Amino acid sequence: MKRIRSFGVLSFGKYLAVFYAFLGFIFGLMYGGIMMLIGAAGAASGGKDAGPMAAFGIGGGIAVIIFGPIFYGLLGFIFGIIATAFANLALKLTGGLEVEIED
């Protein structure tokens, strides 16, 4: 049996930043696509507020696709660092985590 005594805080933070940025991109595509469809539907309605509704829907959809991954990645990094610090504290208090590694 091998024992894990701690995790690299920045290493795990970077990992979660990339992981959550990828999730943010996927969610951004879904929500951004829906926002753009709603904006296009509003523009197609031809009402007096069609222009602003289309601009808000399409512009907002593009913004979600661009800024979603950045926001998710930043939060993933911050919370990854915090969670890893707590995990390292728990590992220190309990003497580590036993794992079995096959050669």
- 33-43 pLDDT, tens per residue? 999 898 888 77
- The pair phi, psi for residue 44, each rounded to 5°, is -70, -20
Counted domains in the chain: 1
d(C-alpha 35, C-alpha 37), whole Å: 5
Say if 103 falls within a structural domain. Answer: no
Say if 102 falls within a structural domain. Answer: no
pLDDT exceeds cutoff 80 at 46: no
Say if 72 falls within a structural domain. Answer: yes
pTM for this model (two decimals): 0.80
d(C-alpha 69, C-alpha 30), whole Å: 12
Say if 49 falls within a structural domain. Answer: yes
Mean pLDDT of the chain: 91
pLDDT of residue 26: 97
DSSP 70: H
Say if 86 falls within a structural domain. Answer: yes
Supply the range of the domain harboring residue 6.
2-96
pLDDT of residue 102: 87
pLDDT of residue 39: 84
d(C-alpha 31, C-alpha 77), whole Å: 22
